[in-house]
């Protein structure tokens, strides 16, 4: 019997000197490798199929809360640490790698309305229904110490949200007005109001750190400059906005999660028209968070699902749901852009992969090259109907699916009515309003 062995002669591949050209073990004459397009098409098709085969995004569920999870916060310096506040006033700190709870604090009475970490990661702030703002140490208390906040600020009104400045020892709370606090003081530096309604969330701009955005239940989104005493401008939408989130890579872009099932990405310089209207949810969008790369964001909805949208696309690229996940109240994209966390009504925090079919762990260079190539192929051939169909296919819960159908019908009816109205009225008397402009009621400066 013949024994086959690998025999490699170094003469065939080792260069004499470093300056020699590398030997090319392949003839790249295009005539020798015909049918480029069909071959790549097939590869793209296979890559797309494999992507769907390996799409298993759900990683872990962190359970321990005894009430619905109301807010989430990322640790600014540690990827593994996540903080969550529940509807029973409990705050828990989780370790994601071990997937367990490392600390539990009974922070408030009633809801924990908001939670945010300091930029240095040594402490975090919580606000609750008990009209208090509390600052806590990130590390747990030593042996024999009591679990106590570093500072407690008693306010006059209920605070519904809190966010910390990205560089300075300043934080902002919202309730009836937006207050900007110095950490060292018990009174706000300034309070800004525009209108008389409760403000549901306030967010600092991560790039232009003096800017703030807030959204109120009187359907408006207000922008502030911390250095000024008055708000900058506001935009009034059709329906109330629940949260906004700034794009960490583009200073003037933010996305608002609206009650009308849509998300609106605004350029703060031109608020009269949203840059993009993202629609796919079938119920109110409750929370939104940007990927640290600024290319995508994730939204949590009352329809028991979370969706991932590319910033420049109006349709989501991904939807995550499980049978047990109820209304998702809060969602966060981890700082390494690989994972997504969502807290929902049914007391669990779920950990998902941001890219459903991505392989976790260390990749070899060949694996990486293959991954990149496949990704490029998918991109290249994404418009081909077969590939598009496969890539877009998702399983949806029946409720969501039927609601999508229903809303499609409603939308079509509305469109038809509009078309008819235009058709049967004096030309020019009924203006044709684009989808983007439709939802913006007014911009006030």
Which residues contact another protein by CB under 8 A?
24, 28, 30, 33, 36-37, 39-41, 43, 76-77, 79, 166, 206-208, 210, 225, 248-252, 269, 292-295, 335-338, 369, 372-373, 375-377, 380-381, 383-386
Beta strands in 304-347 (DSSP E): 306-310, 318-320, 328-333, 339-344
Q: Which ranges constitute the DSSP H helices of 72-185?
A: none
What token pair was written down for 14?
């080792």
Minimum distance from CB of 60 to another protein (Å)? 16
Minimum distance from CB of 28 to another protein (Å)? 6
Measured from the CB atom, the residue of 159 and 381 that comes closer to another protein is: 381
Minimum distance from CB of 36 to another protein (Å)? 4
Measured from the CB atom, the residue of 176 and 205 that comes closer to another protein is: 205
What token pair was written down for 148?
């106590």
Minimum distance from CB of 198 to another protein (Å)? 28
Measured from the CB atom, the residue of 42 and 413 that comes closer to another protein is: 42
Q: Tokens 């232009």 — which residue?
A: 208
Q: Tokens 């300043």 — which residue?
A: 170
Measured from the CB atom, the residue of 323 and 362 that comes closer to another protein is: 362
What token pair was written down for 224?
């502030």
What token pair was written down for 160?
């519904």
What token pair was written down for 214?
């807030």
Minimum distance from CB of 142 to another protein (Å)? 28
What token pair was written down for 171?
């934080």
- DSSP state, 270? B
Task: Point out which residues pair with 442 in neighbouring strands.
Answer: 236
CA distances (Å), origin 79, targets 118, 225, 335, 345: 15, 30, 7, 24
Among 108, 99, 63, 71, smallest CA distance to 346 is for 63
The Cα 377–Cα 168 span in angstroms is: 45
Measured from the CB atom, the residue of 273 and 293 that comes closer to another protein is: 293
**Three-state DSSP class for 256?**
strand
Minimum distance from CB of 304 to another protein (Å)? 29
Measured from the CB atom, the residue of 65 and 278 that comes closer to another protein is: 278
Q: Tokens 């229903």 — which residue?
A: 406
The Cα 225–Cα 17 span in angstroms is: 62
Measured from the CB atom, the residue of 392 and 417 that comes closer to another protein is: 392
- DSSP state, 163? E
Minimum distance from CB of 418 to another protein (Å)? 24
């Amino acid at each position: 019997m013949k024994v086959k062995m690998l025999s490699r002669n170094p003469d065939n591949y080792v260069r004499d000197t470093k300056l020699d050209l590398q030997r090319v073990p392949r003839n790249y004459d295009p005539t020798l490798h015909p049918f480029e397009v069909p071959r790549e098409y097939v590869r793209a098709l296979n890559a797309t199929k494999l992507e769907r085969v390996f799409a298993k995004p759900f990683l872990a569920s962190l359970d321990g809360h005894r009430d619905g999870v109301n807010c989430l916060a990322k640790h600014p310096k540690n990827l593994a640490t996540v903080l969550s506040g529940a509807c029973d006033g409990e705050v828990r700190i989780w370790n994601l790698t071990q997937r367990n709870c490392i600390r539990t604090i009974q922070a408030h009475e009633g809801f924990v309305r908001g939670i945010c970490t300091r930029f240095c990661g040594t402490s975090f702030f919580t606000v609750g229904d008990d009209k208090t703002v509390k600052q806590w140490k990130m590390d747990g208390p030593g042996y024999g110490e009591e679990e106590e906040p570093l500072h407690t600020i008693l306010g006059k009104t209920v605070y519904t949200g809190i966010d910390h400045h990205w560089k300075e020892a300043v934080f902002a709370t919202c309730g009836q007005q937006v207050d900007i606090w110095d950490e060292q003081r018990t009174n706000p530096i300034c309070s800004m109001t525009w209108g008389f309604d409760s403000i549901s969330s306030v967010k600092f701009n991560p790039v232009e750190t003096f800017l703030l955005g807030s959204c109120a239940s009187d359907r408006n989104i207000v922008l502030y400059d911390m250095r000024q005493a008055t708000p900058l401008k506001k935009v009034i939408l059709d329906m109330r906005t629940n949260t906004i989130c700034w794009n960490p890579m583009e200073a003037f872009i933010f996305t608002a999660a609206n009650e009308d099932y849509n998300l609106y990405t605004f350029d703060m310089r031109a608020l009269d028209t949203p840059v993009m209207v993202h629609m796919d949810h079938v119920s109110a969008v409750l929370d939104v968070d940007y990927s640290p790369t600024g290319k995508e964001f994730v939204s949590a909805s009352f329809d028991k699902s979370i969706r991932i949208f590319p910033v420049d696309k109006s349709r989501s690229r991904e939807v995550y749901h499980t049978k047990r996940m109820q209304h998702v109240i809060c969602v966060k994209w981890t700082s390494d852009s690989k994972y997504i966390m969502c807290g929902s009504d049914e007391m669990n925090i779920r950990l998902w992969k941001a890219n459903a079919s991505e392989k976790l762990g260390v990749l070899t260079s060949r694996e990486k090259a293959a991954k990149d190539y496949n990704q490029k192929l998918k991109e290249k051939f994404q418009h081909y109907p077969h590939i598009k169909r496969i890539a877009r296919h998702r399983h949806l819960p029946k409720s969501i699916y039927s609601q999508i159908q229903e809303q499609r019908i409603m939308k079509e009816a509305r469109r038809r009515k509009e078309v008819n109205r235009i058709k049967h009225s004096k030309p020019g008397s009924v203006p044709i309003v684009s989808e983007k402009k439709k939802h913006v009621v007014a911009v006030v400066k």
